[in-house]
Amino acid sequence: MRYFPLIWSALWRRPGRTMLVLLQVAVAFALFGLLQGMKTGVDEAIEKVRADVLFVGQSVQGEAPLPFAYMDRIRQVPGVQAVTFADGLLGTYRKPSDVVFMLAIEPSAMWLTLVPDIFKVLPQDLEALRRTRTGALITADVGKKYGWHVGDRIALTSSTLQRNGSGTWPFDIVGMVTDHEFGEAGFIVGNYSYLDEARALNKGTVRNFYVVVSDPRRAEAVGEAIDRTFANSASGTQSGSFRENAQQEMQSIGDLDFAIRWIVSAVLVALVFSTATMTMQTIRERTPELAVLKTVGFGDGTVFVLVAAESLLVYVAAALAGLALACVAFPLADKYVPGLSMPVEVVAIGVLGAVLVALVSVSVPGLRAAHLNVVDALAGR
Amino acid sequence: MSLLKQTALLLRMSLLGLPQRLGLVCTTVVGVTCAVGVLVSMLAMGVGARREAMANVRPDRASLLSVGALAPAQSSIAKATAVLVRDLPGIRRSASGEPIAVPQVSVFVQARRRISHTAVGFPMLGSGPGLTDYAPELRLTAGRMFRPGLRELIASNYCASEYEHFAAGDARVIQGSEWRVVGNFDLGRTEGVCIVYADADTILSAFGRDSYNQVNVMLQSPATFTELVEAIKANPLLRVEARHEAELAAANMQQVNGILDFVSYFVGTVLALAATIGAANSLYALVDSRRRELATLRAVGFGSPPVIASTLSEAILLALPGALIGAGLAWLLFNGRAASPFGFRFHLAVTPSLTLVGIVWALCMGLIGGLLPAVRAARVPVTVALRAT
């Protein structure tokens, strides 16, 4: 530690050069952080998704919705623990571009535990929804976007008509929910009973069922059993666990592994080479100074450590800056790849990688500095 | 001395001096090599995917979609219409004298990967009679063709190798009933997607549908396409539109290509930034190590503009080999290599035009990286530089 001032002053011998090396390493590690964060973020997001909840939807897109009566039959499938369902109403608020989706549910206690894959809700909010037929729970985002508050009465316009022929659906905001990345579109939660009683068409049908299975390992088998149950009915079902659906969605990114690995190695090779030559150049320019150090009694090992410490300092600082930069960029990339994250492992791998690259790149110039012949160096030979 | 002559002389001098500064030269070259190599290989994915998607496209094939449909998935053609369009002019006839107009329907089914056991969804194509006339490149490698009216299907060899239960002789459950895999085929190229064919009418009844998505027709020649379009226009009963096969294939690729190109250029730009900084740094060092030399030259009458011009040209000249080596490495390592980043497989293709993109990229890196060092070379006061050790 007492050599720190020495290292520090050596670092700023050529401030321009050090700054450029810092910048270069930071950019490289920002790229590493983005790519790796994308990968681990996806893996983590999939891990978090519940494997024991099945989404049971229509087998063919665009077909008639599923009859509500399926619920009892699903309950009887062995391995099924609990069943609930959801429907939806797509509407707009004021302008046609202000799309709001109303998720219609039965406010049962099951929604308290189905979190956080769909939305999080507090018991009192759920209770409020149960008490008010036209009630709605809103997210903070949609509330901010349209200036809605608890107690407000809003009206959505939808192509789903009411029995009286009107496309206007009033709602009373009674509470809040926290949603799970529904994106930019507005999202509110309302009562299924309100939707089903009021609508003119598709009465007694739902969009999908949510099925909790007792053993996550048997989720696939239970899903197949449910699909078999309705195979010969008017509307077939397609069941898949949340985890499996998430995996399918993320497939495309997971397969980019190959590209990520090759990019990261190319970056590291270029980096090692570039910084090694820069350090070499610096050592060459500093030969007389290093010779003086050795003359006043610094050993070969100490000189090596001094030179290596300089590189390490630059690398670790730059790597951390780069990773921080990647974190800042995540919200921007979120539009293309949801669920980006920078777990501790990525930071650890990054810093470890920085230390390794620093040591590799400093090995040749460092040894050269350590084995300097004092007499020749001072004579300028 | 003229400006040009001075520049040329200075450039020659610095190039002759390069072997003594091999390390710094290599830094620039290696940095540019990596940046260009990565950019070219990533772009090669997009080019390869496009090439593979278009490989089987023939100018004498077209598809009929319902009016206004942007893609086959949005199109719906009633059974009666599919019969009517058979008599349109311009359609080639098969050896048995039947018009080659094959109705096709696609439904979504799921399969599991052999390795990871994860589920993947893909379309299963239902085809009417005449599939082999419309697609002569389809060659059975095992088993036989599916028979109309039976729950039988044939799967491409890619399916059979990548997914469970697609080899000839297997049985699988689709829509609650059992289907037999009766054959495997290839399409004369290493097709990247899993393709499964079955009888169109069997699929319609199994999935409770009553209309096809499209009718694929083989034209007498590419030129008879206009004849076909005219005939459709003349018959207001036919609510269909004719599209070239190439047009549909390109539209199908657009989204994947968009993502691939975005990722390529994003990563390429970040890498280029790092390489440019590296190049700037080594050029600074190069200029620094030649400070006295440059000062001497300026003292004997060389102007600032030639010094800047020669340093810039040097930077660009150093970037060029990097571009060529980078593109060359990409070609050596990845050309023809299979990749499957978006659930379908294709081979990377490094083409001359991609190499050109790489070279332009490298020139920009050299130019930007050389700018500041060049200005510095020209602006160091002569007296200071000459006094320096």
* CA-wise closest residue to A242 among A30, A12, A56: A56
What ipTM was assigned to the predicted interfaces of this complex? 0.70
Gap from A358 CA to chain B (nearest CA, Å): 15
Rg of chain B over all Cα atoms, to the nearest angstrom = 31
pLDDT tens readout for residues B160-196: 888 888 888 888 877 767 899 999 998 876 566 778 9
Taking residue B112's Cβ as centre, other Cβ atoms within 10 Å add up to 16
Residues in chain B closer than 8 A to A234 (CB atoms): 208
pLDDT on residue A61: 58
Query: For chain A, what are the domain ranges?
Result: 4-47+253-379, 64-235
How many interface pairs between A and B have CB atoms less than 8 angstroms apart? Answer: 128
* CA-wise closest residue to A155 among A85, A97, A82, A91: A91
Determine, for residues B207 and A60 on separate chains, whether the beta-carbon distance falls below 8 Å: yes
From CA A128, how far away is CA A151, in angstroms rounded? Answer: 11
* CA-wise closest residue to B31 among A212, A54, A268, A218: A268
Are the C-beta atoms of B349 and B338 separated by less than 8 Å?
no
Give me the residue label for tokens 């050029």.
B283
Q: What is the pTM of this model?
A: 0.71
Gap from A31 CA to chain B (nearest CA, Å): 7
Mean pLDDT rounded to a whole number for chain B:
84
Residue A275 DSSP SS3? helix
Determine, for residues A259 and B27 on separate chains, whether the beta-carbon distance falls below 8 Å: no
Residue B380 at interface with chain A, using a CB cutoff of 8 Å:
no
Residues in chain B closer than 8 A to A23 (CB atoms): 277
pLDDT tens readout for residues B86-104: 888 889 998 888 899 999 9
pLDDT on residue A192: 93
Residue A361 at interface with chain B, using a CB cutoff of 8 Å:
no
pLDDT on residue B100: 92
Residue A124 at interface with chain B, using a CB cutoff of 8 Å:
no
* CA-wise closest residue to A75 among A51, A103, A56: A56
Residue B75 at interface with chain A, using a CB cutoff of 8 Å:
no
Residues in chain A closer than 8 A to B44 (CB atoms): none
- Nearest Cβ partner for B42 among A231, A240, A259: A259
Gap from B96 CA to chain A (nearest CA, Å): 36
Binned at pLDDT 50, 70 and 90, residue B13 comes out as: confident
- Nearest Cβ partner for B273 among A27, A266, A277: A27
Distances from the Cα of A181 to the Cα of A116, A141, A185, A338, B245, angstroms? 10, 10, 10, 8, 38
Interface test with A, best of B204, B277, B329, B380 (most A CBs within 10 A): B277
B residues 144-203 closer than 8 Å to A (CB)? 175-177
pLDDT on residue B327: 92
Binned at pLDDT 50, 70 and 90, residue B1 comes out as: low
Give the largest CA-CA distance in chain A.
102
Are the C-beta atoms of B30 and B282 separated by less than 8 Å?
no
- Parallel/antiparallel/unpaired status of strands B196-199 and B152-156: antiparallel
Residue A8 at interface with chain B, using a CB cutoff of 8 Å:
no
pLDDT on residue A193: 92
pLDDT tens readout for residues A28-56: 898 888 888 777 777 777 777 788 888 88
> Does position A1 have pLDDT exceeding 80, yes or no?
no
Determine, for residues A278 and B37 on separate chains, whether the beta-carbon distance falls below 8 Å: no
Distances from the Cα of B262 to the Cα of A69, A332, A336, B249, angstroms? 47, 14, 10, 20
pLDDT tens readout for residues A139-176: 888 888 888 999 999 999 888 888 888 889 999 999 99
User: Nearest-5° angle of CA B323, CA B344, CA A43?
Assistant: 85
Query: For chain B, what are the domain ranges?
Result: 3-54+253-387, 68-238
Give me the residue label for tokens 């192509």.
A159
* CA-wise closest residue to A308 among A360, A371, A377: A360
